[in-house]
Amino acid sequence: MLFVTMTSLLSWAIPRRSGHKWSLAALVIVTLVTSFAVIDNVKHAGVIREDIRIEGDIVYSIVDYNSMAVFPFVLQKQHNWSAGEYVYLVRLWNHEGLVVDRIGPAPDQSEFMHLTLFTTSIAICFQGFLVAMMIILAGELIWIWFRRPELYQESPK
């Protein structure tokens, strides 16, 4: 999320210095490319798997997706093999952090697990984009406020 936010802000700020007409296009393109990179990175980077065994059989698995691309969040999949279902948790800061969101339980079919990971990654990227938009909007309003103070001052009577 932080990665998407920072690249969105930079893609707005750098063309903004040279003119208005390319800022919005750069923002949209860079945000889309960064979001796809983040979604792909979540599946592969920093995956830690812990299996809980009873009498040699795997009963429960916990998979942490510790990708820096979704920082400050960690995606965690808890897979209950005996019940045949999984739950995705979005945690804050680390694998033992505060649970921000819970997705599931759902049947443990691989299509559902991959789709849930994909949609959760998209949601985190979208949150990063929204944070960037709020910062850009606040920055533009402050710029307008200080750039044209005569628009907001009362006229003398």
Residue 154 lies inside a defined structural domain of this protein = no
Total domain count for the chain? 1
pLDDT of residue 14: 72
Residue 125 lies inside a defined structural domain of this protein = yes
- Are residues 58 and 52 in contact, defined by beta-carbon separation less than 8 angstroms? yes
Tell me how far apart the terminal alpha carbons of the chain are, to the nearest angstrom: 51
Residue 121 lies inside a defined structural domain of this protein = yes
Residue 114 lies inside a defined structural domain of this protein = yes
Alpha-carbon gap, residue 70 to 42, rounded angstroms? 7
Residue 156 lies inside a defined structural domain of this protein = no
- What string of pLDDT tens digits covers the 157 residues of the chain? 777 777 777 777 777 666 666 677 777 788 788 877 777 777 777 777 777 777 767 677 888 877 777 778 888 888 887 778 888 888 888 778 788 888 878 777 777 778 888 888 888 878 878 888 888 888 878 877 777 656 555 655 5
The parent domain of residue 21 ranges over: 2-140
Alpha-carbon gap, residue 71 to 14, rounded angstroms? 24
57: helix, strand or coil: strand
